[in-house]
Amino acid sequence: MAIALTTEILLVFWVVNAIWIVFAKKTYRVMIFFGVFSLITSVIYLFLGAPDVAMAEAGISAFATIFFIVCIEKYYSRGSGLKAEMASAAKPRNYFKLVAAFAFVAMLCGLFIFFVPTTTEYAYTELRDLYLFQFMRDVGGRNAVTAIYLGYRVYDTLFEALLLVTAVVAVIHLSWFDRTIVADGRHSEVERSRMTKFAMRIVCPIILLFGMYLVMNGHISAGGGFLGGLAFALFLVCRFMVLGVYDLPIEKAMKLEELVFINIIILPIFAIFTGFIYFYGYATEMFQNIYLIAMNFLVGLKVAFGFFVLFYRYIAIERLPDKEEVVEAFDDGED
Amino acid sequence: MSVQEIVSFIIMGIGIAFMLVGIIGMFQPKKDFYYRLLVACKIDTIGLLTIGIGLAIRHGFSFFTGKIILIIIIIMVLNPLVAHIIAQAAYRSGYVSICKDGDSFDH
């Protein structure tokens, strides 16, 4: 009961936060509000009984916020500058807002520390009970969330994968990628310290192992394709940023992403839409598990390559020395 | 409520107090980047560390405690490293500390 009440309070705050996002005057404030919005969303997911969706939401929102802030900084660095905007936004201190922020943070901390570990109760349980009653027979596996996004709602997953493909294609082709000169074998030009490199050499394989664990156990425990794909992308990004390894060029990554997307479409066509794996109890548990693991793996690769391409495009490539031509071309097009 | 639970609640409360003090420190009037980075690193490292230790005490000797101890070790190793990377990148991009050598941090 208390959890349901908390969820309703958070939902109200969610709507208020959405209104803040719409009416915010400064762009960086929009980004911060967006991060808060994702935080509340993930807490609500947790209360509704979907911890792995909450984890994925938190991870993706952290990634996306960094992307947006870097983009805004680049956009403003041509003209007035982010610092100028932030200086113009500096006002006398508003202590009421500070106190409200402290209260909100303290409330969230209190919820997480004293409330969540002591209870296993969730907010609204009717639909959840229905799915929990029948998902093992219908789709297989032991994770109901995986059963939903790879079984009951596989159309949603297909369109979400299509959405990521569209986002990558749009970013690449609307950002004058063909006018950028990218040579193979170029490294990140920033030289990191020896301490960082040493630690990353140890941590990178662990990140990859963790991603593999999340993907392979996605159908029996918390985790899954989207989350494991984020870990894969982190592995590639860490290698590029810290160790300076550039052995996967961006064209290859794009090709691989499209290939994986075709596989994501083909596999459900042969497995689910023919009725071979899904429903009616025809399939054995082994076939169901093979389908779930393969699909999780494909989704993970898809997310990894998608985020990797976006990362290269936004952060890595424009930092390279041949930046001037791109800026000139863009300005000509604008005039 | 057993002794174990009371001790764990006290330790987790210390962690939350550290986080609150850190957030107040990040809103300090003198907007120095490196000072704020120091405070933010304190929040992450010590706050999460104490809360993790409190959770571990609360759950006693179990598999869950092992996972928490693994997370604590990873945080202890990686968090200062992340702060180091951010500080290095800021130094290379040309951020200059407002504090001079003599009068640092005593305002």
Judge residue A254's burial from the number of C-beta atoms within 10 Å of its C-beta, 0-12 exposed, 13-18 middle, 19 or more buried.
buried
Residue B98 contacts A where some CB pair is shorter than 8 Å: no
Please report the residues numbered 161 through 220 in chain A whose beta carbons come closer than 8 angstroms to any beta carbon of chain B.
Answer: 190, 192-193, 195-196, 199, 203
Q: So where are chain A's domains? A: 1-123, 145-335
Residues of A in contact with B88 (CB under 8 A): 192-193
pLDDT(A140) > 60:
yes
Question: Which one has a higher pLDDT value, A62 or A162?
Answer: A162
In chain A, residues 66-105 whose CB comes closer than 8 Å to chain B: 93, 98, 101-102, 105
Q: For residues A301 and A290, what is the distance between their CA atoms, to the nearest angstrom?
A: 17
Coil, helix or strand at residue A218: coil
The answer to whether the beta carbons of residues A215 and A225 sit under 8 Å apart is yes
Closest CA to A319 of B100, B37, B92, B59: B92
Average pLDDT over residues A185-206: 77
Q: pLDDT tens digits for A317-335?
A: 654 444 444 444 444 444 3
SS (H, E, C) A148-208: HHHHHCHHHHHHHHHHHHHHHHHHHHHCCHHHCCCCCCCCCCCCCCHHHHHHHHHHHHHHH
- A117 reaches B (C-beta below 8 A): yes
The whole-number pLDDT of residue A113 equals 58
Q: For residue A249, what pLDDT is reported?
A: 77
pLDDT digits (tens, 9 = 90+) for A224-252: 888 899 999 999 888 887 887 777 877 88
| Cα gap B67→B73, rounded to integer Å | 10
Closest CA to A277 of A118, A180, A152, A166: A152
Question: CA-based angle A281:A131:A287, to the nearest 5?
Answer: 35
Residues in chain B with CB shorter than 8 Å from the CB of A195 are: 81, 84
Q: What is the pLDDT tens value at each position of chain B, 107 positions in all?
A: 788 889 998 999 999 888 888 888 887 766 678 888 888 888 888 888 999 999 999 888 888 899 899 989 988 888 888 898 888 888 877 777 666 555 544 44
Q: What is the DSSP letter of B89?
A: H
Residue A301 has pLDDT above 60, yes or no: yes
Is the Cβ of B10 closer than 8 Å to some Cβ of chain A? Answer: no
Question: Interface pTM (ipTM) of the complex?
Answer: 0.72
B/e letters for A113-145, b = 16+ CB within 10 Å, e = fewer, are: beeeeeeeeebeeeeeeeeeeebeeebbbebbb
The letter for the amino acid at B67 is K
Number of helices followed by number of strands (H, E) in chain B: 4, 0
Mean pLDDT computed over A276-280:
58
Q: Tell me if the pTM is above 0.80.
A: no
pLDDT of residue A229: 92
Is the Cβ–Cβ distance between A54 and A46 less than 8 Å? yes
- Interatomic CA distance for residues B85 and A127, integer angstroms: 46
| pLDDT category of residue A69 using cuts at 50, 70 and 90 | confident
Residue A298 dihedral angles phi and psi, to the nearest 5°? -65, -45
Contact B1, B32 (CB under 8 A): no
The predicted structure's pLDDT at residue B88: 85
Average pLDDT over residues A291-299: 90
